[in-house]
Amino acid sequence: MGEVIVITSGKGGVGKTTTSANVGAALAAQGRSVVLVDADIGLRNLDVVMGLENRIVYDLVDVVEGYARVRQALIRDKRFENLCLLPAAQTKDKTAVNPDQMRGLCRELREEFDFVLVDSPAGIEQGFRNAIAGAEQALVVATPEVSSVRDADRIIGLLEAERMPAPRLIVNRMRPAMVRRGDMMDIGDIIDILAIELIGVVPEDEAIVVSTNRGEPAALLPTSRAGAAYREIARRLLGETLPIAGSAAQEATLFGRLRRLLGAR
């Protein structure tokens, strides 16, 4: 039985959809069967990022309303046999689905896939409630900005109230040079406030803009630094223990500082 993981953030524009697409592609590249569920009903994006927009026939709302079977709505990825997308509806809104329906849908999908990744909409209202309903784990995406960290904190509080065990943090769009100059929050500052496990730091990378527009996940590009970070996140999800890439990130953690003090590295 597969794992259902919701990717969420509270704040919009921090990279939930990019993260979903790239972590999904990276897991598929590792040979796991993955389904990406776009829970952002009314603001459908994940299909575009995956480059699958032109293949949509049925969507998530059609499935929960019984107009289509899950199998009919799933779109197989161009690159990987074992990667599928369940697109959101573009013409409806968040009230078209309720948490019970999402729970049922996730239960059905996890029978067939190793990983069910649910891309949550921004906000804390019904769309968010729907996205987390069927999930048993959460990845919280935040950028190194005070507003984003504040919203991530709110989301973690809501996930805790839902008894979601230990959400894990992805810090996105990190710019090590700015951190070194003291112009950006470092990983230590963020972890200080959020106090959850860090599963990856994704550097700012222009390749993301290009790959998003082309519908080619950067995780599949060997030259992209962000892509490499996403591949590492996928391996950590599979249980590997890897040091968090980016020396700035490592130095910033208290542990890193201690290690440097002790001269261990």
Partner 1 sequence: MLPEGAGVQVLDELARALGGSPALGGATVTLAPAGALRGDDLNALEALLIGQHGAACVEVVRAAAIEPAMGRGAGGVAAPGSGARGGDPRAAGREGVGDSLLVRRTLRSGQRVRFTGNVIVLGDVNPGAEIVAGGDIVVMGTLRGVAHAGAGGDGEAIVAAFRLQPTQIRVGGVIGRSPDGAYERPDVPEIARVRDGALVVERLQPAFGEIAAGDGHA
Q: Which residues bind partner 1 (CB under 8 A)?
A: 100, 126, 129, 146, 150-151, 153-154, 156-158, 160-163, 192-193, 195
**Shortest Å distance, C-beta 141 to partner 1:** 16
Do strands 83-86 and 34-38 pair parallel, antiparallel, or not at all (unpaired)? parallel
Sign of CA dihedral 7, 44, 46, 187: negative
User: How many other CB atoms sit within 10 Å of the CB of residue 256?
Assistant: 20
Q: Which is nearer to partner 1, 9 or 45 (CB)?
A: 9
Residue 139 or 159 having the CB closest to partner 1 = 159
Compute the least distance from the CB of residue 9 to partner 1, in Å: 13
For partner 1, give the closer residue by CB, 10 or 227. 10
CA-CA distance, 264 to 147, in Å (whole number)? 35
- Nearer CB in complex with partner 1: 93/160: 160
**Least distance (Å) between residue 157 CB and partner 1:** 3
3-state DSSP assignment of residue 181? helix
What is the spatial order of strands in the sheet that 137-142 belongs to? Answer: 75-76, 83-86, 34-38, 115-119, 3-8, 137-142, 168-174, 197-203
Shortest reach from residue 251's CB to partner 1, in Å: 20
For residues 150 and 175, which CB has a smaller minimum distance to partner 1 in the complex? 150
Residue with token string 């948490």: 99
For the CB of residue 193, give the shortest distance to partner 1 in the complex, in Å: 6
The single residue listed with the structure tokens 């699958």 is: 52
